[in-house]
């Protein structure tokens, strides 16, 4: 009989995505893909003249409405956030699910959002959001945040 006990493996059960799962845009996915995020976003900014910001501004001060914290953000990132937060209501109904969710996350400054909140904004069922963005295929860098 051996004096060394066998190691006990620690099994971690992955959290199953559901309506309370947070989703976000993984910018690392964009970095490792053959796509360029900035170019992609420029193609989406169809009416850039509607956004009241100078595209040459390098940084903008943003105040977090919840915490009051001031942080510096990239001027382009801010312009994108403003643009997507001003999209007309009917846009979400006519856009593809992937485009609609991508726009909602951009409008939210890519702060992780619950599947149920995203579903409400894009007028789809939460389980559709979860099934689409929790699978092995990644659409536009949208991923679940499972390690929370």
pLDDT of residue 82: 80
Tell me the backbone φ, ψ of residue 111, rounded to 5 degrees.
-75, 130
Domain residues of the chain, as ranges?
Answer: 22-145
Confidence of residue 147 (pLDDT cuts 50, 70, 90): low
139 by Cβ neighbours in 10 Å (0-12 / 13-18 / 19+) ranks as middle
Tell me the backbone φ, ψ of residue 113, rounded to 5 degrees.
-125, 145
Which token pair is 50?
């509607």
Q: Is the pLDDT of residue 133 over 90?
A: yes
Closest CA to 118 of 14, 15, 44, 107: 107
pLDDT of residue 13: 47
Tell me how far apart the alpha carbons of residues 102 and 81 are, in angstroms, rounded to a whole number.
Answer: 11
Q: What pTM does this model have?
A: 0.76
**Cβ atoms of residues 91 and 123 within 8 Å:** no
């Amino acid at each position: 009989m051996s004096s060394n006990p066998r190691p006990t493996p620690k099994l971690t059960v992955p959290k199953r995505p559901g309506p309370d799962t947070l989703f976000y845009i993984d910018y690392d996915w964009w970095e490792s893909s053959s796509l360029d995020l900035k170019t992609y976003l420029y193609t989406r900014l169809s009416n850039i003249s509607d956004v009241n910001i100078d595209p040459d501004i390098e940084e903008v001060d943003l105040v977090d409405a919840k915490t009051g914290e001031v942080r510096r953000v990239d001027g382009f990132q801010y312009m994108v956030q403003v643009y997507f937060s001003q999209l007309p209501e009917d846009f979400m109904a006519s856009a593809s699910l992937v485009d609609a969710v991508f726009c909602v996350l951009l409008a939210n400054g890519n702060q992780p959002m619950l599947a149920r909140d995203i579903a409400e904004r894009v007028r789809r069922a939460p389980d559709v959001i979860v099934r689409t963005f929790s699978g092995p295929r990644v659409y536009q860098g949208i991923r679940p945040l499972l390690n929370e």
